[in-house]
Amino acid sequence: MPWGVGPGGPPFILSNGLSVLSGIRRVDAADEHLLSAPLSRASRTMPGTVVVGTQFGDEGKGKIVDVLAEASDLVVRFNGGANAGHTVQVGGEQFAFRLLPSGIIRPKVLNVIGNGVAVDPGQLLEEIDALRARGHGVQNLRVSDRAHIVMPWHKTLDELEEKAKGAGMAAGTTKRGIGPVFEDKVGRWGIRVTDLLDDIVLRKKLDAIYPVKQKVSRAFGGTDTFSLDAVYNRYRGYGDRLREFVADTSVVVHDAIRGGKSVLFEGAQGTLLCVDHGVYPYGTSSACVAGAATVGVGIGPSAIDRVVGVAKAFTSRVGEGPFPTEVDDPVASHFRERGGGEYGTVTRRPRRVGWIDLVMLRYAARVNGLTDLAVTKIDVLAGLETVQAAEAYDHFDTELRHFPANMRVLAECSPEYRDFDGWEDLPAKEWRRIAGKGFDALPKAAQAYLRWIEGEVGVPLAFVSVGRGREDTIDLRKAAAPAKAPERKATESPRKPAKTKASRRR
Ligand code: GDP
Ligand code: IMO
Ligand code: MG
């Protein structure tokens, strides 16, 4: 008997109108309400905008998504899982979203978790409960019926596989089961959201998968035993609680785009963590580039006409792998301790920090097809006498301007730096006042640094962020005429930046 075909007639339509066969939550009154609101200004010209990280994650994507969500009708996650931690600060309130899209606190915005996201149902329900406890509704949430589920063995295997890989191969994962869940997706061992709504399919899948996972876990030296019945009951329970949110989200997003709505696709992680384009094997297990939004949501590339790349004014990373511009104290402490600290949003591990890396950003501009650049944390760099930026790598006297695939080569590269004048330290309220006035109000040295970055990357600067809050953001498009790609390598520094070479091994 094929899965899903139960005895005694068609069990597919549930009392709440959901179809377990397809998992479709029909576009109902709540969706109609959200999707029939008047078109936002941006939506008439820009149906699909993707926001991606251009570095190693934690660039401030959540903050930029929050700002862009103002003119969006939908915010859609398409990759990653609860390894992400996206911070949004509004007024005195701070949110750190792991699975929930960063538009969730805007009740008029429909928030979608696409099929490309690894959904940990326990984590998602915790986030939902926490948000409700803070007085925010989640009636504007939809979860793809095709998204894969994080099972208990995925988290166990995440730990065990990292140990087995050892120092040279381990990525220093967030231990959220992300690698193993995507391994199972590709290996066709996965359990999807739709399965949680169907007793028969879930039980049959678990009967097949569970003994294999026990064997794999033991082979890696694991001692955890999972009770099949307990897992079944727990995940059926999750299905019952999540049912109200489950939908064929490709249909939801597609209909919205056809209706002229504005859709914001919220990337997780960063380009250098991408499983295809990142520092393999030290990145994550899903694609993090803009193109992944199509596969991770179920829409075509023609739905996207804008790609915003978010970059910190310096570089940071949590986890292992080569990091050419990494710095030690005292500069590292400056980066880490200012602006609230550079500690992982998910794991609270101290982030490794370094100067901004233009080899990386040019690479990110290319593989994402960036149309806009957002630079965050200009306030965190303040107070340094000199600010450095790597414009190329030196590999045994050969200049590399393209990011290398070989991790040994990357580890052997030393950055070729340009030095810039630093800018003065200002109190948070002064940065906010500057943000209110616009780009020209920024310290002149910061303007020069930003314009040089823009020229090197070859992508117009669209946002500059000078603090954690929504209001600490300069939107350059508001003031300017339509952006045009700047000429590369325009250097507008008041002082001609000096070129310095770092010692080969720091
Ligand atoms: P994401 O994963 O890319 O969404 O970034 P995270 O939220 O993990 O990390 C970014 C951190 O920097 C958060 O704590 C933000 O509140 C904070 N942040 C974002 N932009 C700025 C900025 O311009 N200045 C300062 N000081 N903090 C910022
Ligand atoms: P956001 O969306 C920063 C890193 C981990 C580790 C590697 C693999 O908040 O920018 P994983 O658990 O995905 O298997 O870990 O990737 N990593 C992140 N670092 N920000 C993230 O997400 C990250 N998601 C994963 O530290 O090195
Ligand atoms: Mg983060």
Instruction: Give the chain's domains with CATH numbers.
Output: 32-147+243-301 (3.40.440.10), 149-240 (1.10.300.10), 313-501 (3.90.170.10)
CB 56, CB 227: distance < 8 Å = no
**How many angstroms separate the Cα of 332 from the Cα of each of 242, 317, 350?**
43, 12, 11
Both tokens assigned to 393: 């790598």
**How far is Cα 175 from Cα 177, in angstroms, rounded to an integer?**
6
CB 85, CB 58: distance < 8 Å = yes
Compute, in angstroms, the gap from residue 174 CA to the centroid of ligand 2.
Answer: 6
Q: How does DSSP classify residue 338?
A: G
| Closest ligand 1 atom number to CA of residue 313 | 23
- pLDDT above 80 for 303: yes
**How far is Cα 345 from Cα 327, in angstroms, rounded to an integer?**
21
| Tally of residues, the chain | 506
Question: What percentage of the chain carries pLDDT values higher than 70?
Answer: 84
Please choose from 77, 273, 347 the residue to mutate so as to test ligand 2's pocket, defined by most ligand atoms within 8 A of CB.
273
**How far is Cα 34 from Cα 297, in angstroms, rounded to an integer?**
19
Compute, in angstroms, the gap from residue 57 CA to the centroid of ligand 2.
Answer: 7
Mean pLDDT of 239-258: 98
- E strand or H helix at 463, and its extent? strand 461-465
| Closest ligand 2 atom number to CA of residue 179 | 14
| Closest ligand 1 atom number to CA of residue 62 | 4
Query: Of 349, 313, 359, 309, which is closest to residue 334 (Cα–Cα)?
Result: 313
| Closest ligand 2 atom number to CA of residue 347 | 26
**How far is Cα 28 from Cα 30, in angstroms, rounded to an integer?**
5
The torsion angles phi and psi of 153, rounded to 5 degrees, stand at -70, -20
pLDDT digits (tens, 9 = 90+) for 415-461: 999 999 999 999 999 999 999 999 999 999 999 999 999 999 999 99
CB 113, CB 143: distance < 8 Å = yes
Compute, in angstroms, the gap from residue 56 CA to the centroid of ligand 3.
Answer: 9
Mean pLDDT of 281-301: 98
Query: Of 348, 346, 307, which is closest to residue 459 (Cα–Cα)?
Result: 307
CB 308, CB 64: distance < 8 Å = yes
Q: Where does 267-380 show beta strands of DSSP type E?
A: 306-312, 315-317, 352-354, 356-357, 372-376
Q: In the beta sheet, which residues pair with residue 118?
A: 148
Compute, in angstroms, the gap from residue 295 CA to the centroid of ligand 2.
Answer: 20
The bound ligand whose nearest atom lies closest to the alpha carbon of 312 is 1
**How far is Cα 495 from Cα 309, in angstroms, rounded to an integer?**
28
- The protein residue with its alpha carbon nearest to ligand 1, atom 23, reads 377
Q: Is the peptide bond before 152 cis (omega within 30 degrees of 0)?
A: no
Q: pLDDT class for 336, splitting at 50, 70, 90?
A: confident
Q: 102: Cβ below 6 Å to ligand 1?
A: no
| Closest ligand 2 atom number to CA of residue 267 | 2
Q: 252: Cβ below 6 Å to ligand 2?
A: no
Question: What percentage of the chain carries pLDDT values higher than 90?
Answer: 78
**How far is Cα 78 from Cα 263, in angstroms, rounded to an integer?**
12
The position carrying tokens 């650049």 is: 373
Query: Of 368, 369, 364, 367, which is closest to residue 453 (Cα–Cα)?
Result: 364
Radius of gyration of the chain (CA): 23
Q: In the prediction, which pLDDT does 350 show?
A: 77
- The protein residue with its alpha carbon nearest to ligand 1, atom 11, reads 60
pLDDT digits (tens, 9 = 90+) for 308-323: 999 999 999 999 999 9
Both tokens assigned to 223: 């001692």
Compute, in angstroms, the gap from residue 178 CA to the centroid of ligand 2.
Answer: 9
Please choose from 94, 284, 468 the residue to mutate so as to test ligand 1's pocket, defined by most ligand atoms within 8 A of CB.
468
Q: In the prediction, which pLDDT does 339 show?
A: 56
Q: In the prediction, which pLDDT does 23 show?
A: 41
Q: 376: Cβ below 6 Å to ligand 2?
A: no
Compute, in angstroms, the gap from residue 347 CA to the centroid of ligand 2.
Answer: 9
| Beta strands 372-376 and 306-312, pairing class | parallel
Please choose from 98, 347, 349, 376 the residue to mutate so as to test ligand 1's pocket, defined by most ligand atoms within 8 A of CB.
376
Catalytic positions, written as ranges: 58, 86
Q: pLDDT class for 491, splitting at 50, 70, 90?
A: very low
pLDDT digits (tens, 9 = 90+) for 10-38: 333 333 334 434 444 444 544 555 555 54
Q: What angle do CA 347, 472, 69 make, to 5 degrees?
A: 75
How confident is the prediction for the chain on average, in pLDDT? Answer: 88
- E strand or H helix at 474, and its extent? strand 473-475
pTM of the model: 0.90
- pLDDT above 80 for 134: yes
The position carrying tokens 């911070």 is: 87
Neighbour-count burial of 45, counting CB atoms closer than 10 A to its CB (0-12 exposed, 13-18 middle, 19+ buried): exposed
Q: 86: Cβ below 6 Å to ligand 1?
A: yes
Q: Is the peptide bond before 404 cis (omega within 30 degrees of 0)?
A: no
